[in-house]
Structure 1
Amino acid sequence: MDHPGWPVSAVPAAYLRPGSASFTDFLAAAEPQLLPWHGRSESDRAGLSSLHGAVPHGTTIVALTFGGGVVVAGDRRATMGNLIAQRDIEKVFLADSHSAVGIAGTAGLAVEMVRLFQLELEHYEKIEGVRLSLDGKANRLSAMIRGNLGAALQGLAVVPLFAGVEIPGDGVTAPGAPGVGRVFSYDITGGKYEEHDFYAVGSGSLFARSALKKRYDRAADADTAVRAAVEALYDAADDDTATGGPDLTRRIYPVVVVIGADGAVRLADDAVGEVAQAVVAGRMVNPGG
């Protein structure tokens, strides 16, 4: 029966056809032009490489597990060649209630991919009535990265870092059990790799990982893990021009998300600012950390 003022015959067939619980698959059938990687002709792709230095790029993201979950943090700088394109870009986002994703690479494409990923997880839960496992979420993100391969081969890559905990009571972990933090990295083909303890991506990742080797403590509490993440980003900024350090004059600090059994929380800027100021004060005494 037609809805008053909205006959079923006017609804596109793709909206009425049974399908999978993937929002990306639905979008590919119903509105493919809305996908970030849709509609690039060969001539478009040939011109992408010339844009590589003319679009903003995000840089360093770190993630590390601790006794009760996982911390994800990212600096705030976006670069465009040798220029600072933006000083306060946000590169760490909540994916759902118990996971987060940080982005490195071409900022515009990366942000669109994150938005689609957030919708993908919400759509699956609405259709299936349950949430995806953490592995399932990581696999969905892998498929989206693979869809951007054409642009990535032309220099416009998106390389996220995904982290989270299994939701207590979801059948994967015992109800009420503390969340176990897990971290996943990717390559431009969509290859997924589970990292142990900590990882970093982006132009300053080498320096951030080196810092975390010295500071990481598997049994640390959340506050200690946050301090280690901010220290690692400071070290990355110290040696990588594309990574922004804490900007005390403008009060621009890293974005930090803490994920535990109770859920994912983005720390307030004031709270991160206190940690960043303590790190800077410590470096005034010992510049090498």
Structure 2
Amino acid sequence: MVDGRLPQAYTTAGSASFLEFLQGHAPDLVPGRLSAAAGAAGTPLAPHGTTIVALTFEGGAVLAGDRRATMGNVIASREIEKVFPADEYSAVGIAGTAGLAVELVRLFQLELEHYEKIEGSLLSLDGKANRLSTMIRGNLGLAMQGLAVVPLFAGYDLDRRHGRIFSFDVTGGRYEEHDHHSVGSGSLFARGSLKKRWRPGLDAAGAVRVAVEALLDASDDDSATGGPDTLRDVYPVVATVTQAGYLRVPDAELAGHVAALLDERRALHRQAHPAPSTDPEAAR
């Protein structure tokens, strides 16, 4: 700001896209342009986050993510958040290089807010997915160096009146998924769980339970996916997106689902593997 006046860039008419404004006037702040020169001589491992699951239900969609970030074979964080509101009617979950992913999500949130202020209306759900696709494509250079970001996007379509899910690849390719989907290192195990547990007609509570169970199954087989930590009271981040907007599910509700699931599995395990008898007579 010079002499109390904004720079000319801020008063010049242009696109409603905040990303295009940033590329034109401050390209060094775009995540895809961040310098990787510091890592040319061997960048230390960056924390990575997994696993994200999404599914639809009657009246909306659920997006959920575990809380573990790994750095090689080391747990970098047990409490990282990987699910964020994109705007009032959509949410985005991140898998991949955690630092870049969080920065990309923040820029995506600004992009949607900027569009709404400039145009005076919300961007369509397809439009939001396309914007995110463009931003991921801008990170392709770093993705080729191993610093990839692969988000999962879900929202409530105000025109079609139902929840929708979009997945992406590192080149920015956008794909609409139906019923459910998962990304991240534990996605193979989570997807198998979703196939078994998802069904048409699920309500919000039922969909949340299915999402929690899918993450629990993924954590059982994938070391990079963190399971619910009842000792530290760390539970997955789970959010629903409906006509009423984005709503994060309280930890108290998630704790109830986790306790019920663990009780069921404990009972099945004991039934399949009964404890050996300690009665000497029975041992004869």
* Change beyond 3 A, Cα 1:199–1:28: same
2:235 aligns with one of 235, 250, 253: 253
- 2-structure distance, mates of 1:44, 1:138: 32
Matched, 1:62 2:60: no
Does residue 208 (structure 1) correspond to residue 203 (structure 2)? The answer is: no
Residue 226 of structure 1, CA deviation: 0.5
The one-letter code matched in structure 2 to 1:183 is I
The answer to whether the 8 A contact 1:14-1:29 is kept is no
- Say whether the 8 Å CA contact 1:91–1:103 is kept in structure 2: yes
Q: Which residue of 1 aligns with 2:278?
A: none
Larger Rg: 2
Partner SS, residue 4 of structure 2: coil
Matched letter for residue 234 of structure 2? I
Q: Which residue of 2 aligns with 1:181?
A: 163
Moved more, 13-22 or 184-193: 13-22
Which residues of 2 match residues 184-195 of structure 1 at below 5 A?
A: 184-195=166-177
Distance, in Å, in 2 between the alignment partners of 1:264 and 1:22 is 23
8 A Cα contact 1:45 1:150, kept in partner: no
In the other structure, the counterpart of 2:4 is 6
- Structure 2 unaligned residues grouped into runs of 5+: 271-284
CA root-mean-square deviation? 1.8
TM-score of the superposed pair, with normalisation by structure 1 = 0.89
Q: What runs of 5+ residues in structure 1 fail to find an aligned partner?
A: 174-178
Structure 1 pair 252–90 and aligned structure 2 pair: CA distance change class (3 A): same
Is the Cα contact below 8 Å between 1:46 and 1:154 reproduced in 2? no
> Which structure 2 residues correspond to residues 26-37 of structure 1 after superposition, within 5 A?
26-37=21-32
How far is the alpha carbon of 1:27 from its aligned partner?
1.0
Residue matched to 1:219: 201
Q: Does residue 102 of structure 2 align to residue 111 of structure 1?
A: yes
Which position in structure 2 is the counterpart of 1:176? none
**Aligned partner of residue 37 in structure 1, secondary structure:** helix
Residue pair 1:237, 1:244 contacting (<8 A) in 2 also? yes
2:4 maps to a residue whose letter is: W
- Residue 281 (structure 2) aligns with: none
**Which one-letter code corresponds to 1:189 in the other structure?**
T
Q: CA 1:275/1:14 → structure 2, altered by over 3 Å: closer, same or farther? A: same
Residues 1:276 and 2:258 aligned together: yes
Residues 64-110 of structure 1: CA deviation (Å, up to 9, x unaligned): 00111100000000000000000010000011111000000000000
Structure 1 CA distance, aligned partners of 2:86 and 2:200?
A: 24
Structure 1 residues 155-164 or 22-31, which shifts more?
22-31
Deviation at 1:4, TM superposition (A): 11
Which residue matches 1:38? 33
Please identify runs of 4+ aligned residues in structure 1 that moved more than 6 A: none
Residues 32, 38 of structure 1: 8 Å contact kept: yes
1:68-147 matches, within 5 Å, as 68-147=59-138
